């Protein structure tokens, strides 16, 4: 089966789906919103990320210009190479700023915690142990009360 034939079948099946039993066009939505897997970045983190991308792109353009000026033996090559080195340091700092800003945001505003399955299993085991200890404590107190009641009756 050729790709065009498959496309023709897909188009025909979509058209048949859109037209109902009455012959009227189905009122399906043209645009369907799907939930996003990841949440949006916080505003300060997004700002730092945009700043870092702009600085990194300017650094790359500057480095490319330095290479081209060096190949043409222009007098601008040396100052441009020096500024490219400085710009690389600034770009590295900007990327670190994104990371630090993200960490600070997570610490100040909290993060949705999704414990791993191992942590969940350990928590279950601890809960079971606490329940059995409480049950044993209750049973021991009942036995003590019964024996105290029997001694007082006698």
Token output for 124: 């279950």
Element (H, E) at 51: helix 43-71
Cα–Cα–Cα angle for 135, 140, 145, rounded to 5 degrees = 125
Burial class (CB within 10 angstroms; exposed 0-12, middle 13-18, buried 19+) of 135: exposed
- What's the pTM? 0.50
Per-residue pLDDT of the chain (154 residues; tens, 9 = 90+): 555 555 555 555 555 555 555 555 556 778 887 777 777 778 889 999 999 999 999 999 999 999 999 999 999 999 999 999 999 999 999 999 999 999 998 888 776 566 566 677 888 889 999 999 999 888 888 777 777 766 666 6
Token output for 11: 């188009």
Which residues are 19's β-sheet partners?
Answer: 25
DSSP three-state, residue 19? strand
The 10 Å Cβ neighbour count of residue 80 is 20
């Amino acid at each position: 089966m050729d790709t065009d034939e498959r496309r023709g079948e897909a188009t025909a099946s979509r058209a048949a789906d859109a037209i109902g039993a009455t012959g009227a066009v189905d009122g399906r939505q043209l645009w369907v919103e799907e939930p996003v897997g990841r949440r949006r970045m916080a505003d300060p983190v997004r700002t730092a990320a945009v700043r870092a991308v702009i600085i990194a792109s300017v650094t790359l353009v500057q480095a490319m210009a330095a290479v081209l000026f060096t190949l043409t033996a222009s007098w601008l090559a040396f100052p441009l190479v020096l500024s490219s080195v400085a710009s690389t340091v600034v770009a590295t700092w900007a990327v670190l700023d994104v990371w630090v800003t993200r960490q600070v945001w997570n610490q100040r505003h909290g993060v949705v915690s999704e414990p791993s399955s191992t942590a969940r299993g350990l928590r279950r085991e601890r809960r079971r142990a606490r329940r059995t200890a409480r049950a044993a404590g209750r049973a021991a107190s009942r036995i003590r009360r019964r024996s105290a009641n029997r001694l007082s009756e006698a």
